Amino acid sequence: MDNFIGLDVSKSTVSVFIPQSELEIEIANTVKGFTQLFSKLKKLYKKEHDSLVFVYEPTSSYSSTLELFCANKHIRVFKINPKASHNFAKALSIRNKTDKVDARMLCHAGMLAKEEEIHIPVIDVIVEQINDLMSYYQLLVKQRVQTSNHLEKLQHKESTATLKKAFKQKEQHTIDEIKRLITKDSKLALKYQSIQTIKGLGDIATIALIHLFLKYPNANQKQIISLAGLDPIEKTSGTSVRGKTRISKAGNKLYRRSLFMGTMVTIRFNEEMKCFYDRLKEKGKHTTLIQIAVMKKLIIIARALFHSNQGYSSEIYQAHCGMVAQNSNVA
């Protein structure tokens, strides 16, 4: 337990709890700050410093410096899901929420880690670049929608069209830049081409899937569906609680948004998907439920193509999805 170091990461600082001496310190969220922390830890733990595990919540760009430092110094980490740490804090009846309290809580949360979840971070430069560009693309889309909604209320419709066009050009430039990164890597380029053999998947949907599979390389079929937020959440208890089953919407919503239009096109032009859609429709399933089921199948097939570097075929569809309809009560 003493080898788990809790780190609560924020934009400019990191609160640290060191259980060896019940020490609470605050350092800068910089390479220099982490270097000073590691020097202090080596003095405290001496020969045992190799057994240290940094426990923190991944916070996108805020935790990137810490992750890169741990990769370079071969420090093992446990990246705990924010929801898991929140539930853990509630289980401990922790009512206060401060940086120091969170750092101490994260230290104790190390006991939740499975052996395979503790590892030295591996930094893939291309994955990080794609991640940054995808985040920028999401920001552009959000800004375009907000600006468009605002300008729709005004009288000058020409201004609206001009600004929409400018945002669209920026979005396309970002997508082109991501494609350039992918084509520079021969292995990634082959995987990209393999996924695009699925009729209906355009550039954005394919890039989103590539990003999903690169970011979570060790996720199994069930986990990859959950990471896209398409896993069902059921709320029933006793005789009084009968909540409607829905998808969790966990993870990055970009995956679901990017795949939605691709799903609609795939239902029209892919024979297997169309048959699957019609079969569920005949059983009286709700349209939204069927669309989600098709989206799941797309992810499963795309993942298979990503790993095998093969093009889409009916045989691959049957091998990885079968011909049995998924009757999960997702809404």
* Residue pLDDT, tens place only, 17-40: 999 889 999 999 999 999 999 999
Instruction: For residue 205, give Cα distances in angstroms to 77, 190, 237.
Output: 31, 16, 38
Residue 104 burial (C-beta neighbours within 10 Å; 0-12, 13-18, 19+)? buried
pLDDT for res 242? 62
Model confidence at 50: pLDDT above 80: yes
Give me the phi and psi of 255, to 5 degrees please: -60, -45
Average the pLDDT over 117-128 and give the result.
85
pLDDT tens column, 191-248: 999 999 998 888 999 999 998 898 888 788 888 898 888 888 777 666 565 667 777 7
Give the pLDDT band (50/70/90) at residue 119: very high
Average the pLDDT over 139-164 and give the result.
77
Average pLDDT value over all residues in the chain:
86
Query: 251 versus 103: which is more confidently predicted?
Result: 103
Overall pTM surpassing 0.75 (yes/no) = no
pLDDT for res 1? 65
pLDDT tens column, 65-100: 999 999 999 999 999 988 889 999 999 888 888 999
Model confidence at 108: pLDDT above 60: yes
pLDDT for res 141? 87
pLDDT for res 158? 65
pLDDT for res 29? 95
Query: Rounded to an integer, what is the distance from CA 135 to the centroid of its chain?
Result: 11
Instruction: For residue 134, give Cα distances in angstroms to 177, 213, 214, 236, 331.
Output: 10, 14, 13, 37, 28
Model confidence at 249: pLDDT above 80: no
Q: What is the DSSP track for 26-46? A: EEESSHHHHHHHHHHHHHHHG
Average the pLDDT over 265-276 and give the result.
90
pLDDT for res 236? 64
pLDDT for res 241? 59
Give the pLDDT band (50/70/90) at residue 327: very low
pLDDT for res 30? 95
Instruction: For residue 49, give Cα distances in angstroms to 18, 24, 76, 288, 293.
Output: 12, 18, 11, 52, 48
Q: Strand 76-79 and strand 4-9: pairing?
A: unpaired
Residue % of the chain over a pLDDT of 90: 47
Average the pLDDT over 115-123 and give the result.
88
pLDDT for res 161? 76
Residue 271: closest CA among 330, 198, 213? 198
Residue 105: closest CA among 89, 84, 121? 89
pLDDT for res 326? 43
Instruction: For residue 116, give Cα distances in angstroms to 79, 93, 112, 119, 182.
Output: 12, 28, 12, 7, 29
pLDDT for res 295? 92
